Amino acid sequence: MLQDVLQELSETAQKCGISDAAETIITNITNTMSDRAATQKSFNTLLASYRAKILPHVVTNWDGLSDSEQSTLSQMHNFYCGMHLVVNMAEHTSESLKLIERNYSSPAVFATNEPGSIRLIRTVCKAFEKRGDEKSDRLPEKKRNNKKSFNTLSWQ
């Protein structure tokens, strides 16, 4: 699949008078992000080996570089996304909070299936920030309305 995309990219670039476009793009990729799936790990390995194979053809004066410089240019870094872990922790935390709240509150308190502590956080965020909630960040200072922020609110 990657080879097909690179072949198509090379053909299109050659029509425009650009040579080695796909190889140049591949050699400029130094970092990848993965979800730790087996297919992603395999792709990262294939990409790194292909990149190492074409580097001598793309990098000017490759043979004139020292071994440590060649090694540094050949390195690829694979970062792993931790979002699935965070989402799973949030789901389990929510379930745990619901159990704890049910043990210490009356059943009439639960109008929704959401824990009260999470509902409280969402309500406070919405009260003090336009578009503020657990999913959205704060708006840039210029776009904020004239609501007082939590930090400047005076409790009188």
User: If you write DSSP's letter for every residue of the chain in order, what string do you get?
Assistant: -HHHHHHHHHHHHHHTT--SHHHHHHHH--EEEE---HHHHHHHHHHHHHHHHHHHHHSTTGGGS-HHHHHHHH--EEEE--HHHHHHHHHHHHHHHHHHHHHHS-GGG-SSSS-HHHHHHHHHHHHHSTT-SSSS-PPPGGG--SPPPTTT----
- Residue 63 confidence (pLDDT): 92
pLDDT tens for the chain, residues 1 to 156:
777 887 888 888 888 888 778 888 888 888 988 777 777 788 888 888 888 988 998 888 999 999 999 999 999 988 877 777 787 788 888 889 888 888 887 666 556 678 888 888 877 777 776 666 555 555 555 555 555 555 554 444
- Residue 141 confidence (pLDDT): 58
Show me where the domains of the chain are located.
2-81, 84-143
Q: What pTM was estimated for this model as a whole?
A: 0.51
| CA 47 centroid distance within chain | 20
